[in-house]
Amino acid sequence: MAQYFFKISHGEYAGASDQATEFENRDMAWSEMTKVCSNFLGSISRNLKQNSEWHMELLDEGRKPVFRIRLVAESVD
């Protein structure tokens, strides 16, 4: 089983979990990441400022990004 770490970044804040989570494969890691992200999405979108970004990454054992989900708020005028 491979170990992964979750990392969340929003503005100047960035924090990664200290405890690894084990998954059998990348597909299972992606599935769990999307579930975790969906649990956060409502509160994040309600508090997102204009022209800002929130993202969650799944890092491998070497703390390198494997997957990233981004939520971007852009002003288009």
Q: Output the six-digit token pair for 64.
A: 């390198």
Distances in Å between the alpha carbon of 27 and those of 10, 53, 60?
25, 25, 13
pLDDT in tens, 12-26: 777 888 899 999 999
What domain count does the chain have? 1
| CB burial readout 22-40, b (16+ within 10 A) else e | ebeeeeebeeebeebbeee
What residues make up the domain containing 44?
Answer: 2-73
Mean pLDDT rounded to a whole number for the chain: 90
Q: Considering the entire predicted model, what is its pTM?
A: 0.81
